[in-house]
Amino acid sequence: MNFWSDFIYFFSFQDANINNVLLGTIILGFTCGIAGVLVILSKKTLIVDAVSHSVLPGICIGFMFTGVKNPVYIISGGMIAGAVAVYLVDWISSISRIKKDASIAITLSVLFSAGVILLNIIQHSGNSNQSGLTDFLFGKAATIIESDLYVFVVIAGIVILTLILFYQHFKIALFDIGFAKTIGLSEKLIQGLISGLIIISTAIGIQTVGIILMSALIITPASSALFWTNNFKKSIVLSGVFACLSSVVGVFISFLSSDMPTGPWIIVILSSIAIFSAFFSKKGIITKKIKAFKNKRKMLSDNLLKTIYTIHEKENHIKKGWTIKEILNTNSISASDLYQGIKILKTKNILANSNDLWVLTNKGIHEAKKIIRAHNLWELYMENFMQIQPDHVHDSAESIEHILTPELEAELLKQIGSKIGAIDNLNKPKD
């Protein structure tokens, strides 16, 4: 079969086994994705790793209790072990001088070691049902069957319902714990709920990606989402979408080749999204570099325009143009910056060249007045409202003049006017 026939077959949903795996990974991915935002914002990322490694003994005990791989008992055992891990981390830190990160490492090591010992005991017990139990270490999404889906749906429903019911509580506590306390919100309750969501998400997610990669399934989609938006609700939805998308692609790649494990491929896709987000999102490295470059160009051209307009005003509009040497002599700007600034201003039709003289266009005069107006407004505001001495306000105004919006300018005019009355000569450069 070629790629396109495989593609059509996969997304035609004809195969019940593929549908079970696809739906199961989507449910698990979405659940972990939305929980991940709360985890990152509450600074509990290390706890996820501790819980994911600590659920192994619970899974083993759940199996030993029934003798079969019943998803209800196995997931319940994992949740109990996860809860024990969270309790031990806090308990060790509270009764000793051991820091939180060290107590996490201790708990993770001890419980994971206990899980490996129990797993070894089960493997030598002679129970034929223990086959495939080791898949929880590295994950094996192909083992998801229809009965697992019912458990996943119930647990995912609990996570989503908890998020909906306590959405405002989470939002307040995560962003302003001081305010949360003043209105009577219990910090312990919120932290407990978040820990509970970590435990639940981890317990159901290990079947897809395994104990080793479980923390990545929770943290990576949320990290990616937070690169794109600062909005709490949008970040939760986006994190869930990233996790679902990665789940679909991971299952599809695994379907194309039986040698490709589903869980690791889901994490690879999630990591690719995270890397792309880190570079190209609105808060990404490249986006910031581009923004910084544009801001630098704007400040350079604005300062040059202001310099030329100041000369224009001092000469009472008599002289109609200046040579590059004359402009250089009136400013500390370097020759390279001057040429770059002139190029920018010429492109914007702010400066024009006439007989080797650079002259301001009407648009240039208008733009220069806007910059000087913003500068003078901010100086007045700092002097009259912040009570700062006149000789200390210039540097601040030099920065603000480039970013002051018309809305802020109108508000400043309103406030300053109400205090000192009419304002004259805002468009005039100061000596």
Is 48 in contact with 202 (CB distance < 8 Å)?
yes
pLDDT tens-digit map of 30-50? 999 999 999 999 888 888 888
Mean pLDDT of the chain: 84
- What's the pLDDT score for residue 429? 64
Cα–Cα distance for residue pair 281/288, rounded to 1 Å? 9
66-125: per-residue pLDDT in tens? 877 777 888 888 889 889 998 898 888 888 888 888 888 888 889 989 988 988 888 877
- Look at residues 235, 260, 283 and tell me which one is the last residue of a structural domain: 283
CATH number of the CATH domain containing 412: 1.10.60.10
In this structure, are 158 and 252 located in the same domain?
yes
130 domain residue, yes or no: yes
**160-205 pLDDT tens trace:** 999 999 988 888 888 887 887 888 778 788 888 888 888 888 888 8
Q: Are residues 51 and 90 in the same domain?
A: yes
Structure tokens at 354: 């006439």
Q: Is residue 425 part of a domain?
A: no
The verdict on 328 and 181 lying in the same domain is no
Query: Which pLDDT band, with edges at 50, 70 and 90, does 26 fall under?
Result: very high
Check whether residue 310 and residue 293 sit in a common domain.
yes
Q: Is residue 195 domain-shared with residue 74, that is, in the same domain?
A: yes
The answer on 142 and 48 residing in a single domain is: yes
CATH at 164? 1.10.3470.10
Count of domains observed in the chain = 3
Residues 345 and 373 in one domain: no
Q: Give pLDDT tens digits for 307-330.
A: 888 877 776 655 567 778 877 777
Among the three residues 329, 360, 391, which one is the final residue of a domain in this structure?
A: 360
For residue 128, the cross-strand partners are none
Strand partners, 360: 351
Q: Which residue(s) pair with 359 in the sheet?
A: 352
5 occurs within a structural domain: no
Position 162, amino acid: T
Q: Are 207 and 140 in contact (CB under 8 A)?
A: yes
pLDDT digits (tens, 9 = 90+) for 273-304: 999 999 998 888 999 999 989 888 888 888 88
Q: What per-residue confidence (pLDDT) applies to 416?
A: 74
> In whole angstroms, what is the distance from residue 68 CA to residue 70 CA?
6
Among 283, 302, 318, the domain-final residue is 283
Is residue 342 one of the residues assigned to a domain?
A: yes
CATH number for the domain spanning 315: value is: 1.10.10.10
pLDDT band at 138 (very low <50, low <70, confident <90, very high): confident
Domain containing 92 equals: 14-283
Is the same domain home to 376 and 401?
A: yes
